[in-house]
Amino acid sequence: MKNTSILALACAVTTTGAFAGGIDRSGQSIAPIFEDGSYLEFSFGSVNPTVSGVQTGTYNDGTTVVPGLGQSSGNMVESYTSVGAAYKTDLNDKFSVALIFDQPFGADVNYSFADSPAPYAYTGSTASIDSNSLTAVLRYKINDRISVLGGVREVTSKGKVALSNGYTMNTTKETDWGYVIGAAYEIPDIALRAALTYNSEITHDFTTTENGVFDSPMETRLPQSVNLDFQTGIAADTLLMASVRWAEWTAFDISPTAYVAGAGDALVDYDNDTISYSLGVGRRFNDKLSGSIMVGYEKSTGGYSGNLGPTDGYASLGLGLKYQITEQTAISGGVRYVWIGDAETENPTLPGTTFGEFTGNDATAFGIKVSHSF
């Protein structure tokens, strides 16, 4: 079982920093709970996206009219990094526990490019969302094949926005709690495992400061989600891996009081939930080296995307390698290329009409992980 676990880790590192729907970043994996014995890992990922479009609709914020002349937005998404860590140990032959740190949600928007003769209407607008999460998971083995798990998850989040029309919004940093439940079925002799995990919704009650003077409460719900992870041996030293993740992004919105009163709509919301898929193969070449290849896909849902996140679905290809430094310590590395789905944004002053068209965008990502079993 340990050899197949090595292959799974080699593949998993290629998904670090996924460019998924909504503001999803980590995928909220609890894979460390299935490691053998006591286990420790640290990971780092970097994502470098290029998301640009052209303005096709006329924008009128009440003081400035910017006609749609095909102005380029320039790359409006900042590169970002993420870190993760996990510790797992067996309490006895039935119970295991894991602590997992990740950064599940985030956004880094910066419309910094000034086209001429007229700039893109949102030039000068910035936004960021940051989150950190700690999950404690307990697993109980009913028998050699069936196990159940559950735990609690703490998420700390904050955000800020500055629009080109002068509007600003900052939130307080809030920490709130949710839970994780799941079950797994395994056939160790063929390295088969199917694990289903439910991640509960988490509600933040922020206090927002708008335009530097107006404080008000704002409720934001981080979406509930379901992860299905599968692996099985298909030949000697070869593992097939697949996963599906559903997230309820229609429940998520950012709706500051003064902004909604003026604009008549949320600052950020999503019209569709997302389902992300991945499929890969891992291979152990020898006692020291393992490799993997993985493809990912998230269907474009159509309709309008938000001006603070103009993407719609993706396809990706990832490659991973893992080197066993010693019998207990290993280092994994992976790269991933993402074809970002084309999107249209809605005109904020003429609802139901197209404002911007974002096409031909992509992202590159790499990750590294160090793990130790003891």
Q: Is the preceding omega at residue 188 within 30 degrees of 0, hence cis?
A: no
Residues 183-195 pLDDT 10s: 999 999 999 999 9
Residues 339-369 pLDDT 10s: 999 999 888 777 788 899 999 999 999 999 9
284 forms beta bridges with 290
Residue 104 confidence (pLDDT): 96
Residue 9 confidence (pLDDT): 47
Computed over its alpha carbons, how large is the radius of gyration of the chain?
22
Nearest to 177 by CA among 204, 150, 147: 204
Six token digits for residue 195: 């694990």
* Pairing relationship of beta strands 59-60 and 329-340 according to DSSP bridges: unpaired
Six token digits for residue 128: 């960021």
* Pairing relationship of beta strands 168-171 and 146-162 according to DSSP bridges: antiparallel
By three-state DSSP, how is residue 147 classified?
A: strand
d(CA 294, CA 18): 12
Entry pTM: 0.92
Q: Which run of H or E residues covers position 46?
A: strand 39-50
* Pairing relationship of beta strands 274-284 and 126-141 according to DSSP bridges: unpaired
Residues 17-29 pLDDT 10s: 456 677 999 999 9
Six token digits for residue 190: 């063929």
Count how many domains the chain has.
1
Mean pLDDT of successive 10-residue stretches along the chain, which has 374 residues: 44 51 89 96 95 88 78 93 97 97 95 82 92 98 97 98 93 98 96 97 98 94 97 95 96 94 88 93 95 95 83 95 96 96 86 90 96 95
d(CA 370, CA 35): 14
By three-state DSSP, how is residue 37 classified?
A: coil
Domain that holds residue 29: 2-373
Q: Note the maximum CA span of the chain.
A: 70
d(CA 329, CA 315): 32
**Residue 70: how many CB atoms within 10 A of its CB?**
11
Give the CATH number, domain containing residue 352: 2.40.160.60
Cα distance from N-terminal residue to C-terminal residue, the chain: 15
